Chains A and B, each alone.
Chain A
């Protein structure tokens, strides 16, 4: 029998893997993919809680907004990466050290 705990354990694993992706990727787009993974883990939590709390749709509505924000964030991030690429000629995040003291 699949219950609430199964979903929560899965989303905790997805969240940790997303954090790990954000930490170890040097490619800026890889870091963006890690952020998407973390946001998805949070959405799974919201929807699971929405199912296991009778008469509440807030979880599903929250997940809709999370997906919307993720799409908006990806659009802006890609635009910033393209500017970064024209300035630094690479997408490696360690090379963007122009403001280093």
Chain B
């Protein structure tokens, strides 16, 4: 087994086990820590897919930013960090049935499709190539995203302000 395949199976295993942990754990703080495991191993998968820029963005923005935001949300919205709510047994069974059916359908689709013309890229794209694509072919969505970030900043500050 090559080192790439070994790394893939390790990262995929950690991602799946953490995702199962997210589903199973009833404690919201543990759920957030399991999310960190999934996000980190997905960043590792990006490295394996030659998307170095994305892997670093994933670690900085997701693991560094969004996750801290979620932890702050947990801290600000609970009287004690160990409080639990859980769904009823019937809801859990129904949701599990739906998601297992969804997974089986997606797997059947993926395994049945003909991927014979999908060849891996011969040369890994550089960070500069992604930057060039962002500022030439994808300039309009890039600028729209910056406006969106401004709106989100103002909106979040407005929504979270204390009542007068």
List residues of chain A with CB under 8 Å of any chain B CB.
1-10, 12-21, 23-30, 32-34, 36-37, 40, 43-44, 47-48, 50-55, 57-58, 60-61, 63-65, 67-72, 74-76, 78-83, 85-86, 91-92, 94
A-B contact pairs, 21 of them (CB 8 A): A2-B5, A3-B118, A6-B12, A12-B110, A13-B19, A18-B19, A19-B98, A23-B91, A23-B94, A27-B85, A33-B32, A37-B22, A37-B38, A47-B49, A52-B118, A60-B133, A64-B54, A68-B61, A68-B148, A75-B69, A76-B155
Residues of B contacting A: mostly: helix
Q: For the complex, give the distance between the alpha carbons of A18 and B34 in Å.
A: 13
Which residues of chain A have C-beta atoms less than 8 A from B120's C-beta?
A: 51-52
Residues of A contacting B: mostly: helix
Which residues of chain A have C-beta atoms less than 8 A from B133's C-beta?
A: 57-58, 60-61
List residues of chain B with CB under 8 Å of any chain A CB.
2, 4-5, 8, 12, 15-16, 19-20, 22-23, 28, 31-32, 35, 38-39, 42, 45-46, 48-51, 53-54, 57-58, 61-62, 65-66, 69-70, 72-74, 76-78, 85-87, 91-92, 94-96, 98-100, 102-103, 106-107, 110-111, 115, 118-122, 125, 129-130, 133-134, 137-138, 141, 145, 148-149, 152-153, 155-156, 159-160, 163
Among A1, A32, A53, A60, point to the contact of B51 (Cβ < 8 A). Answer: A60
CB distance A74 to B121 under 8 Å?
no
Which residues of chain A have C-beta atoms less than 8 A from B100's C-beta?
A: 16
Which residues of chain A have C-beta atoms less than 8 A from B118's C-beta?
A: 3-4, 52-53
CB distance A79 to B159 under 8 Å?
yes
Which chain A residue shows the least CB distance to B108? A12
Contact A61:B99 (CB < 8 A) given known A76-B152, A76-B155: no
CB distance B49 to A50 under 8 Å?
yes
Q: For the complex, give the distance between the alpha carbons of A67 and B12 in Å.
A: 19
Which residues of chain A have C-beta atoms less than 8 A from B86's C-beta?
A: 24, 26
Q: For the complex, give the distance between the alpha carbons of A30 and B34 in Å.
A: 11
Given contacts A21-B22, A33-B32, 4 further A-B contacts (CB under 8 A): A17-B20, A79-B160, A81-B77, A82-B77
CB distance A12 to B107 under 8 Å?
yes
